[in-house]
Amino acid sequence: MFRGLDAIVLHQMRIRLREPIAVFFDIFWAPLMLLLFGTIFKAGADSGMPGFRNVDFMIPQLILLPIIVIGFFDFTPVVAQERESGFLRRLQVTPMRPLVYLLGLAVAAVIVTLLSVALTLVLGKILFGLSLHGSIGEVLWAFLLDLLVIYPTAFLLASISSTSSMARALGFIIGFPMMFLSGVAGVPLDLFPEGLLKVANWLPSTVGVKLTTAAWLGQDMAALRWETIYGVLFGLACIILSTRFFRWENQVSK
């Protein structure tokens, strides 16, 4: 059922790691943002809430940053580029299914994301005294939900894009609001006007930030059960639509 999955994962990892720009944004951007904003906003200082530092509220947002960057700005145009180059047409004559190809991209994306998150957490611990206030199990669950709400959305954009230029444009159009309207880019949601805040609360990335923050701070995850249900249903819907509209070759170019 998953024949060829390992080959796709290795192929995508080679593409990512041999491009310096991709390595910088995929892996090192989040740690550098922690270093920058952590220095400016004194991440190691007390937050005003007993037992919490400012860095404890930054980390959940920075965990989402590489997921969004890799999903919308990296893998979305890669799928369209491989379709234009004819690489996907060659895969079409193999027993590989679209779901296996997309799953291979997802696995490679998760590996790169984990590298970025690990560097961010280590930097936060060393420089700012970062501590985990919740359980590891809940944090991992929130991380899986983050992946579920972001990556399928990015893959859906790749599936419906007829060209790499279109995929890149859609990635920016969707990816930047995902960052700036969810707090991932460092803009607090408290500063948003009421109308914009209502829109932001429905974004998958905002749901991810809320769940990750609650898990990291040890808050009651049950209070976010509707956000959890929404995130799961949204992600599953995007997975179904991604496989439904996926094309091995560009029909427009025929």
**Amino acid at position 164, single letter:** S
Using alpha carbons, select from 85, 253, 251, 70 the residue that is nearest to residue 175. 70
What string of DSSP letters covers 78-95?
HHHHHHHHTHHHHHHTSS
Using alpha carbons, select from 243, 237, 71 the residue that is nearest to residue 168. 71
- Specify the DSSP class assigned to residue 163: S
> Number of structural domains, the chain?
1
Compute CA 241 distance to the chain's CA centroid, rounded to the nearest angstrom.
18
Q: What are phi and psi of 162, to 5 degrees?
A: -85, -20
Instruction: Give pLDDT tens digits for 57-76.
Output: 999 999 999 999 999 998 88
Using alpha carbons, select from 102, 101, 66 the residue that is nearest to residue 235. 102
Question: What residues does 46 pair with on adjacent strands?
Answer: 53
Question: What's the mean pLDDT in 159-166?
Answer: 87
Using alpha carbons, select from 64, 243, 232, 222 the residue that is nearest to residue 148. 232
Instruction: Give pLDDT tens digits for 185-241.
Output: 877 777 788 888 888 988 999 999 999 999 999 999 999 999 999 999 999 999 999
Using alpha carbons, select from 27, 47, 214, 211 the residue that is nearest to residue 128. 47
Instruction: Give pLDDT tens digits for 25-61.
Output: 889 999 999 999 888 888 888 877 888 888 999 999 9
Instruction: Tell me, yes or no, if the pTM score tops 0.85.
Output: yes
CA gyration radius, the chain: 19
Query: Do residues 101 and 8 make contact, with C-beta atoms less than 8 angstroms apart?
Result: yes
Residues 6+ positions from 24 with CB-CB distance below 8 Å: none
Domain residues for 203?
5-253
Query: Do residues 43 and 34 make contact, with C-beta atoms less than 8 angstroms apart?
Result: yes
